[in-house]
A and B are shown apart, each in its own frame.
Chain A
Amino acid sequence: EAGVAQSPRYKIIEKRQSVAFWCNPISGHATLYWYQQILGQGPKLLIQFQNNGVVDDSQLPKDRFSAERLKGVDSTLKIQPAKLEDSAVYLCASSTGQNQPQHFGDGTRLSIL
């Protein structure tokens, strides 16, 4: 089966600019996750979708981050405006259900200048 696809792989922007990431989960996976992984740390959950509904966005900085999952398949994560501390790898994962093992994409490495 095809894995979780993410694009772009790398993105460099200046602070205060906006950026968007795209994720295509494994076909049939109802649950989709966006994580932020800062260098040297484990992933931190930003938002979790079940189909096209939000299950958990308690750690999403809603003043600047937004995410959507139209039609319960693909998802986009947006940052506007970006801050220096947003430099990180943004990982998308999907699973068949909330309590099932998660399958990760290779992430988007974001650098803020």
Chain B
Amino acid sequence: SQQGEEDPQALSIQEGENATMNCSYKTSINNLQWYRQNSGRGLVHLILIRSNEREKHSGRLRVTLDTSKKSSSLLITASRAADTASYFCAQRKNRDDKIIFGKGTRLHILP
């Protein structure tokens, strides 16, 4: 079964705006990862955040982790048309466990 859920399921914003996607999970984790998937393509790894970290940045991406609320968020600033994709969070419960993906958020950037 899939452990986490992304929210919202779908999001449409104007180009240049910021996009925020959230991920909730049910049990404690070792780390949480965010992936992007363009239509018809494989997933691309974006950021990994460990359970003892609260925030990580990569270019226009910012990921936060709140272990007390069992939630994470992915912020994309100054969105571009090329950011149109599905975004998945994936949790690793223990160091040697498999990662479990949520159902994803479908992001559409309007020109």
| A interface with B by C-beta (< 8 Å) | 4, 40-45, 48, 56, 91, 93, 98-99, 101-107
B40 within 8 A of A: yes
Most buried by A among B31, B45, B103: B45
Q: Which of B70-111 contact A (CB under 8 A)?
A: 88, 90, 92, 95-96, 98-104
- Kindly identify which residue among A42, A98, A101, A104 contacts B96, using a CB–CB cutoff of 8 Å: A98
Sample (22) of A-B pairs whose CB atoms are under 8 Å apart: A4-B42, A40-B103, A41-B103, A41-B104, A42-B88, A43-B101, A44-B101, A45-B99, A56-B98, A93-B42, A93-B43, A99-B31, A99-B92, A101-B45, A101-B48, A102-B45, A102-B99, A104-B42, A104-B44, A105-B42, A106-B40, A107-B41
A-B pairs with the 10 shortest C-beta distances? A104-B42, A42-B101, A101-B45, A104-B43, A106-B42, A45-B98, A42-B88, A43-B101, A105-B42, A106-B41
CB distance from A109 to the nearest CB of B (A): 8
Chain A residues with CB under 8 Å of B88's CB are 42-43
CB distance from A90 to the nearest CB of B (A): 11
Q: Let me know if A99 and B44 touch, CB within 8 A.
A: no
CB distance from A2 to the nearest CB of B (A): 14
B22 within 8 A of A: no
